[in-house]
Chains A and B, each alone.
Chain A
Amino acid sequence: MKLAVVVQRYGPAVHGGTELQARYIAEHLAQHAEVEVLTTCAGDEETWANKYKAGTDTINGVRVRRFRVSRSRSGTASARLGERVFHQTHSLADELKWIEAEGPMSRGLLRHLRKHGESYDFCLFFDYRYCHSFYGARAVASRAILVPRAERDDAIGVRAFHDVFRGVRGILYNSPEERSLIQAIAGNPQVPGIVVGAGVDAPQNVQGARFRQKHDIRGNFALYIGRVDERRGCRELFDFFARYSKQAGTRLSLVVAGDGPLEIPQHPKIKHAGALDEASKFDAIAAADVIVVPSAYESLSRTALEAWALGKPVLANGKSDVLRGQCLRGNGGLCYRNGEEFAAMLQAIEQNRWLSGSLGKNGRQYLRDHYDWRVVERKYHELLQQLQKSPAKTAMPPIPGWSERRRRDLPPAADVLRSAS
C-alpha cells in the first residue's frame, strides 16, 4: 500500500500540534506501508515563508517531498477576510479568498497531486482549514482521507469546508467530540470515519531533576507547555494562577514552557522556561506535579496525553468539550470553568496526593488502552483495509460557478457554529 501524508509543514524542528501528529503517524505507518510525505518548504505558520529547500529528502526513514509556497500569508488580509466570513453574511467567493489567504498556497503541491495522485492508494490530509487540504482533497477526492483536527471555533462554520467533509473517502477523527461536531455541522454520517488520535512516544531516560537543575526550579510546580498565546488560554491561565497563589496555603508555582506573542506577567511564582526540545519537555513533565491545559480550542490535547504517559494528572479547561471528554473518559484530570474552580481544583490536586496519583495512574491506563501506537496503527490499518475493499460512496461536489460563488447568501460562520451547538 502506498500512502501520501499531506501536511502544511514537516520536519523534526517543526513543533506544531498538527505537524507533530502528521510526522508521528507517517513514521509509524512507514513500518507497514510505503509512505511519502508531501509538504511545503514553509518554516513558520505566520507567513509560510519558504525555509526548506524544495525537492525530496528522507527524514527518519520517511521520504519527504517539498514544494514551494506560491504566496506568503498576510495577517491583516487574513484577519479582514476572516472578519467578513465569520461575522457577516457573505459569499462563497469570500470564503475561498479567506482560505487562500490563510494558506499555505502551493501550486506545485496541487499540481503534483493532480498529476500523480493516482499513484497513491490513499492521501492523508492533515488539518482541514488550510489550503493544501481544501484544494488537495478536491484534487484526489476518491483517495482523500481527512484528519480534520477540528476545534470548536468559527472556522468550522465556513460553508466551503462542509463539502470537503462530505466528499472525502474517510475521516480519521481525534476525539468523539470532534466527530460529533463535524457531523452536526456538515451532516456527513455516511462518510466512513473512526476516532483514532495519535500515540505518545515517551523517552526512556526521563529525569525531572535534570530539568529542575537546568532551569533552577525548586519546589512543586504546575506546568504549561505550548505556545504562549491568548488563543491558547494563557492570559486566563495567568489571571487564574495569580488568584490561586493569593490563597493561603498554596505552594505551587507555575512554569511556562514555550514562547509566543503574549507577554508573561512578572509574578514571583510564574517562571518562564522557554521553548523546550522533546527530551526536555518530558523531563519537565516528569518534574511537574500537574500539567495545565488552558486552551478552550482543542481537537486532541497531545500535552494531556504526554502528561498521562508519565502518570501525571491534568488540569484542563472545561470549556473545551474535547478536553472535558478526555478527562472524564480517562479519569485522568480535572476541568475548571472559572477562576474559582481553577483554584479549588489545583488546590485539590496539590494537597491530595492520593487524588493526584490516582488521576495520573488512570490517565496512563487510558493512554495505554486507546492511544498506544499499536492500537492507533491497528485502527489506521482497519480503516484503510475497509476503504480499499468498499467502493467510494460519496462524491466531492464541485466548486460552484462564477455567479453562484458571488451570491451573498451564506450566514456568518459564527452563527452556523452557534446553531449547531
Chain B
Amino acid sequence: MAEFNVRSDSVNVEQIMEQIRARIREKRGVDYTEAEIQQLASARLESFIDPGRLHSNLLAEFQRVRAEGDAPEALDAAVDESVLFETHRGWLRALRTLLRPILKLFLNTKALAALTARAKAELTRKNRDQMTFELIHNVVVEMTRLGIEVKNLTMRVESMQSRLEFNERRARALEGAVVYKPSEPDVTPQRPPVQESRPPVEFRPRHDSQQASQPAASGQSAPAPGSPDGQGQPGQSQRRRRRRRRGRRGGGQPWTPNQPGQPGPAGPENPSGLTGHAVSPHEPLPADDEHADDLSTEPEEPDDSGPGTDSSPQ
C-alpha cells in the first residue's frame, strides 16, 4: 500500500517556509534568537547603567598588567627562597636565619618559593584574562550592533532605491502621457464671459515685487521679455510658459488697476505704463503672448507665491 508520497510540483511548502525564514533572518540582521538579542542588549545596557564596571583606561591598565606579568626580575625575586623568611622584625629575621638549615631539612623551600611565584603569575594572568575578556566582549557587542545597523541601513538604501526607481518610472510614464500643445497666440481664447461677473481677486503685493517695479518707476524701463535683451534673463522663459498655460486655461490674472505696487495704466500709481492700456476690473484680460510679455516686468506672480494670493478661477 503506497503511503504518503504526495508532492505537488506547483508549491513546495518546505521551500516557501525556508524562504520566509531567510527573509526573517535577513530582516533581523543576524540569526539570533529573541532571547540572545535581549541578552546582548541588556549586556550593553548594563555597562552603561553601571559605569563603575567600565575601564576608562583599559589600554593603560592592560599594558600595566602585562608589564607586571612579563617582568623577569619580579619572577626571579619571587623564586628566591629568602623571601619566605623575610620579616620587618630584626630578632625574628635573625632567628629564622639561624634556624633556616633546620627548616630546610623538613621541606623544600625552593619549591615553596616557586609555588608562590606561580601563584602571583596566575593572579596576573587572571587579571589579564579578565581584561581580555572585557575587550572581546566589547568587540563582540559592537560588532553585533554594527552588523545590525549595517543591515538596517542596507535595507533602507534598498527601500529608497526602489522608491527612486518607482518615481523615475512614474515620471517617465507621465512624460509619455502628456501631449504638449503648441502655443498659438492668435487663437488663444478670450476670457469667457462668465468670468466678467467674477469679482477681482485681491492682489497682495510682495516686498520683492515692489523692488522689481522700482527701475520702471525711475524711468529705466526693463527690457521686454522676448526682446533680444530679455532673452538671456534666467527664469523669464519659465514665467512666460506659466502665463501661456494660465492663458490657455483662461485663468489670467485679473488685475485691479489702482492698487499700489501693481502695474496698471499710466498715472501716478503706474508711472511706467507698461501695460499700454487701461484694464477695467470687469474687462477680460487679453491673454496672448504679447500682453504676457508686457506683463513680464510685473512682480512675481501671486499665484506662485502661495494659496493666500491665489488668483486662479475658483
- Interface residues of chain A, those whose CB is within 8 Å of chain B, are 176, 194-195, 327-335, 338, 340-341, 344-345, 348, 355, 358-359, 361-362, 365-366, 369-370, 379, 382
* Sample of 10 A–B contacts (CB below 8 Å): A328-B13, A333-B13, A348-B20, A355-B11, A355-B16, A358-B8, A359-B13, A362-B11, A366-B6, A382-B1
B23 near A344: Cβ-Cβ < 8 Å: yes
Give chain B residues whose Cβ lies under 8 Å from the Cβ of A370: 3-4, 6
In this complex, what residue of B is CB-closest to A359? B11
Asked if B13 and A341 make an inter-chain contact with CB atoms under 8 angstroms apart, the answer reads no
> What residues of chain A lie closer than 8 Å to B14, measured between beta carbons?
328
Report the separation of the CA atoms of residues A382 and B1 in the bound assembly, to the nearest whole angstrom: 10
* Cβ contact of B3, chosen from A176, A330, A334, A382, cutoff 8 A: A176
- Residues of B whose CB lies within 8 Å of any CB of A are 1, 3-8, 10-14, 16-17, 20-21, 23-24, 28, 34
Contact at B11–A194, with CB atoms within 8 Å?
Answer: no
The answer to whether B24 touches A340, judged by C-beta atoms less than 8 angstroms apart, is yes
Q: Beyond A176-B4, A329-B5, A341-B20, list 8 extra A-B contacts (CB 8 Å).
A: A328-B13, A328-B14, A330-B6, A348-B16, A358-B10, A362-B11, A365-B8, A370-B6
Structural contact, B13 and A334, CB atoms closer than 8 A: yes
Closest to B13 in A: A331
Please give the distance in Å from B143's CB to the nearest CB on chain A.
23
Report whether B10 and A341 are in contact in the complex, using a CB–CB cutoff of 8 Å.
no
B24 to chain A, nearest CB (A): 5
Minimum CB–CB distance for B74 against chain A, Å: 53
Contact of A358 with B11 at beta-carbon distance under 8 Å, contacts A195-B4, A348-B16, A379-B1 already known = yes
Give Cα A176–Cα B6 distance, bound, in whole angstroms.
14
Chain B residue nearest to A339 (CB atoms) is B34
Chain B residue numbers with a CB within 8 Å of A176 are 3-4
Q: Is the CB of A331 within 8 A of B1?
A: no
Distance from A126 Cβ to chain B, minimum over Cβ atoms (Å): 21
Which B residues touch A327, using CB under 8 A?
13
| Distance in angstroms between the alpha carbons of A345 and B304 in the assembled complex | 50
Cα separation A42 to B8 with both chains bound (whole Å): 44
CB pair B6–A362 under 8 Å, yes or no, is yes
Q: Given the interface contacts A331-B11, A358-B10, A359-B13, does A345 sit within 8 Å of B20 by beta carbon?
A: yes
Is there contact, CB below 8 Å, between B17 and A335? yes
Q: Is the CB of B4 within 8 A of A341?
A: no
Q: How far is the CA of A249 from the CA of B8 in the complex (A)?
A: 30
**Alpha-carbon distance between A344 and B28 when the two chains are bound, in angstroms:** 13
B17 near A334 (CB under 8 angstroms)? yes
Are B24 and A341 touching (Cβ within 8 A)?
Answer: yes
Query: Could you tell me the distance in whole angstroms from the C-beta of B187 to the nearest C-beta in chain A?
Result: 51
Alpha-carbon distance A333/B11, docked complex (angstroms): 10
A194→B24 CA distance, assembly (Å): 39
Question: Shortest CB–CB separation between residue A174 and chain B, in angstroms?
Answer: 12
Minimum C-beta distance from B270 to chain A (A): 58
Give Cα distance in the complex from A333 to B4, angstroms. Answer: 15
Q: Are A344 and B20 in contact (CB under 8 A)?
A: yes
Q: Are A331 and B21 in contact (CB under 8 A)?
A: no
Q: Kindly state the separation between the CA atoms of A36 and B8 in the bound complex, as whole angstroms.
A: 40
Minimum C-beta distance from B22 to chain A (A): 11
- How far apart are B35's CB and chain A's nearest CB, in angstroms? 11
A362 to B14, CA, bound (A): 14
Q: Is the CB of A338 within 8 A of B34?
A: yes
* B1 and A345 contacting across the interface, CB-CB below 8 Å: no
A152 to B20, CA, bound (A): 27
Among B8, B11, B24, point to the contact of A344 (Cβ < 8 A). Answer: B24
Complex contacts, B5 vs chain A, CB 8 Å: 329
Nearest chain-A residue to B21 (Cβ)? Answer: A341
Query: What residues of A have a CB within 8 angstroms of the CB of B7 in the complex?
Result: 331
CB pair B8–A329 under 8 Å, yes or no, is no
Cα–Cα, bound, A395→B14 (Å) = 42
Contacts of B20 in A (CB 8 A): 334, 341, 344-345, 348
- Min C-beta distance of A312 to chain B, whole Å: 14
Verify A362–B8 contact, CB threshold 8 A.
yes
Question: Are B4 and A331 closer than 8 Å at their CB atoms?
Answer: no
A321 to chain B, nearest CB (A): 14
The distance from the CB of B12 to the nearest CB of chain A, in whole angstroms, is 7
| Cα–Cα distance between A370 and B6 once the two chains are bound (Å) | 9
Cβ 8 A contact of A329, one of B1, B6, B11, B28: B6
Q: Tell me, in angstroms, the Cα distance from A359 to B3 when the chains sit together.
A: 20
Q: Shortest distance in angstroms between A349's beta carbon and chain B's nearest beta carbon?
A: 10
A361 neighbours in B (Cβ, 8 Å): 8
Q: Tell me how far the C-beta of B151 lies from the nearest C-beta in chain A, rounded to whole angstroms.
A: 15
Interfacial chain B residues near A331, Cβ < 8 Å? 6-8, 11-13
Q: How far is the CA of A327 from the CA of B11 in the complex (A)?
A: 12
- Measured in the bound complex, the distance between the Cα atoms of B10 and A355 in whole Å is 9
Chain B residues, CB < 8 A from A334: 13, 16-17, 20
Chain B residues with CB under 8 Å of A362's CB are: 6, 8, 10-11
With a cutoff of 8 Å between Cβ atoms, the chain B residues found around residue A338 in the complex are: 34
Nearest A residue to B12, CB-CB: A331
| Inter-chain contacts of A335 with B (CB < 8 A) | 17
